[in-house]
Amino acid sequence: MKVIKIGGSVISMLDRAWCESGAGIIVHGGSRYVDELSEKMGIKVEKLTSPSGVTFRRTTREVIDVYVAALIRANKDIVKFLESKGINAIGLTGFERELIVGRRKKLIKAVINGRIVAIRDDYSGIIEEINVKALRRYMKVGVPVIASIAYDPVENTPLNIDGDKLAKEIALNLKADELTFLSDTAFLVNGEVMDKIKADELEEFLPFAKGGMKRKLLMAKAALEGGVKKVIIQGLNGRTVVE
């Protein structure tokens, strides 16, 4: 069984980027949709960097509402694309049957003007539970297409969760054989696509990765250590296979 994570930057280019049909489960983000909707509504969205070098979106109470609306729109576009390929798809978020249960981060850290700053008003979350039984029921009907939105039952609020992490967690929970990150680019070293990387060499390549690509390599490492046999970073310019 396969899990495919579709990056928000390639949703509008799925005809070019789509590598394989018949995936067991699809997870997606929607960065471009969030940016476009927030700009249309006149809402400023900050992009911050964690102390570990990973870029993320600051999700205030105002931004989480935009985030949810934007990802639902992205979800509908992906479902429509899959149906045009003859694939029966089911659009989902973490709210359906409490599919993805999360916990809001009470404090996150970011590097601002060279200093590490604590942020407490963010509505991003930690994934705590995947409703595997519900997910398997959906899979009997069609291909689940899951927006990276979790539900926090304690605060009764939606949460912004990282799509790469969600894809990795679903792959581990369902014991998937393969995890694919569908992105605008494969993993590059000095401008060249790395076609293959051995799992035990991943640590050596982390210094070459920045932002979202670094996160993908970290998720690939965790997935392989958890039993996934192969991780693919499929870009418009080639693919990187880690196994």
Q: What is the CATH number of the domain that holds 75?
A: 3.40.1160.10
Is 208 domain-assigned?
yes
Is 7 domain-assigned?
yes
Any alpha helices (H) in 8-103, and if so which ranges? 14-17, 31-40, 61-84
Is 117 domain-assigned?
no
- Contact status, residue 199 vs residue 221, Cβ threshold 8 Å: yes
Q: What angle do CA 50, 186, 31 make, to 5 degrees?
A: 50
Tell me the residue range of the domain where 138 lies: 2-42+61-100+128-242
Is 118 domain-assigned?
no
30: which 2 tokens? 């929607």
Is 108 domain-assigned?
no
What is the arithmetic mean of pLDDT over 124-134?
96
Q: Token match 């916990």: residue?
A: 103
Is 30 domain-assigned?
yes
Q: Residue 242's pLDDT band (boundaries 50, 70, 90)?
A: very high
pLDDT (0 to 100) of residue 54: 74
210: which 2 tokens? 């920045």
What is the arithmetic mean of pLDDT over 109-123?
93
Instruction: Look up residue 206 and give its DSSP letter.
Output: G
Write out the H or E segment, with its range, that includes residue 221. Answer: helix 211-225
Is 114 domain-assigned?
no
Q: Residue 126 in 3-state DSSP?
A: strand
pLDDT (0 to 100) of residue 19: 61
pLDDT digits (tens, 9 = 90+) for 169-220: 999 999 999 999 999 999 999 999 999 999 999 999 999 998 789 999 999 9
Q: Residue 124's pLDDT band (boundaries 50, 70, 90)?
A: very high
Q: Token match 């539970």: residue?
A: 129
* pTM reported for the whole predicted model: 0.93
What is the arithmetic mean of pLDDT over 33-39?
94
Number of domains the chain contains? 1
pLDDT of 151 > 90? The answer is yes
Q: How far apart are CA 108 and CA 119, in angstroms?
A: 5
